[in-house]
Amino acid sequence: MNIHLKRLLFSLVPLVVVLGGAEAGLRAADWPTVDSSGFAHNQVYWTADPGQEDNAVPHRETQGSFRVSTDEHGLRVPRHPVEKPAGTQRIMTLGCSTTFGWGVDDAESYPARLESRLKGKGYETWQVINGGQPGYTSFQGLWLWDGVLARFQPDIVMIGYVVQDARKAAYSDKSQAILQGDARFMKNALLYRSKLYLGLRAAVGAVQIRAKERGEGDEGGIHRVPPEDYVDNIRALVARAKAVGAEPVLFGYPLEREGYTGDHRAILKAAAAELGVRHFDPQAQMEEATRHQTLYFETDRGHANARGNDLIARWVMEFLEEQGMLAVGG
């Protein structure tokens, strides 16, 4: 071995000893510590219960219930097998409970209404896969895509993560995954296994360690997916969609009022321009429409009712038609 290389390796020994001791000391002290009371959810990743068949799900805000059916992966109606039949095209809708269809029965969610509208207009070969999951941000969406959704071989992917990404919480979703040491995240982020590395990042504020005051909108907390992570996640989702031959559309799922989602909507639009992909945000249309009719639950303004879901489905189909993304008969 070259004498200079030997000297270099020898000089690194004290550094290795110091770093190893620091790592051992931090692990013994269990720092940084985890305050799970501030987490937005008690898990990092989840899906709806699989194999539900017309189950009644309580809707706390309306004091009623709605009927839910899911496949073996926890994906809601419309249900289709993973293997795509020859001559079939698929639209996959990604998002949170708004896409899942919280509060409405199976046939009334926007993905279910979209498929029904497509069939009714002669697009017989098109299927819709409801990839929405309650509480999801783009952070969980990437995990679900890699584990399940990519296997459905979609032709169009409506990337509709904005509502939950923009919400405020005590910890970002990424910080929660780091602090909990979730193996499904950590296996792709080896450095985060180091207490020393985590401690250094915490010291400069890169990882949220202590819960701030929680709040909705612009008060307190931090975004579940901060802008810099949101951009990275959107880029990754677009790349993954293209990798399976699908065309991505960045979809600003509309709320009754834009409210706290404004910044993330602007990021979504800018990302579409940067990446050269289509962008559709009917937020202004929805705000005008809700002036004349009730499209969201009176006691749950965050979720569209059956009429609202149907209108969103109509707008999505019209957008896809205008963009020349659909073909009658395949």
Instruction: State the Rg of the chain over Cα.
Output: 23
- Cα-based torsion angle of the residue sequence 182, 170, 133, 92 in order, rounded to the nearest 10 degrees: -90
Can you read off the two tokens belonging to residue 146? Answer: 């890699």
pLDDT of residue 20: 46
36-322 maps to which CATH number?
3.40.50.1110
Residue with tokens 């050269």: 276
CA torsion sign for 165, 246, 98, 129 is negative
Half-sphere exposure of 317 (CA within 13 A, CB side): 25
Cα distances (Å, whole numbers) of residue 10 to 4, 22, 321 = 10, 20, 67
Residues 39 and 93 sit within 8 Å (Cβ to Cβ): no
- Cα-based torsion angle of the residue sequence 242, 135, 41, 75 in order, rounded to the nearest 10 degrees: -70
Can you read off the two tokens belonging to residue 242? Answer: 């293209």
User: Residue 86, Cβ neighbours under 10 Å: how many?
Assistant: 7
pLDDT of residue 164: 97
Q: What is the pLDDT of residues 278-319, one digit of tens each?
A: 999 999 999 999 999 999 999 999 999 999 999 999 999 999
Residues 214 and 30 sit within 8 Å (Cβ to Cβ): no
pLDDT of residue 231: 97
pLDDT of residue 41: 79
Distance CA 280, CA 267 (A): 13
Q: Which residues of the chain fall below pLDDT 50?
A: 9, 12-13, 15-23, 26, 191-193, 196-197, 204, 211-218, 329-330
Close Cβ partners of 330 (under 8 Å, ≥ 6 residues apart): 87, 88, 89, 125
Q: Quick check: bond before 32 cis, omega within 30?
A: yes
Residues 35 and 210 sit within 8 Å (Cβ to Cβ): yes
Counting every residue, how long is the chain? 330
Distance CA 112, CA 302 (A): 19
Structural domain spans, the chain: 1-30, 36-322
Cα distances (Å, whole numbers) of residue 262 to 26, 68, 252, 284 = 40, 31, 10, 12
Query: Please, where are the H alpha helices in the chain?
Result: 3-29, 97-100, 110-120, 138-147, 173-180, 183-186, 195-203, 227-243, 262-275, 283-289, 306-322
Residue 248: what residue type? P
pLDDT of residue 10: 52
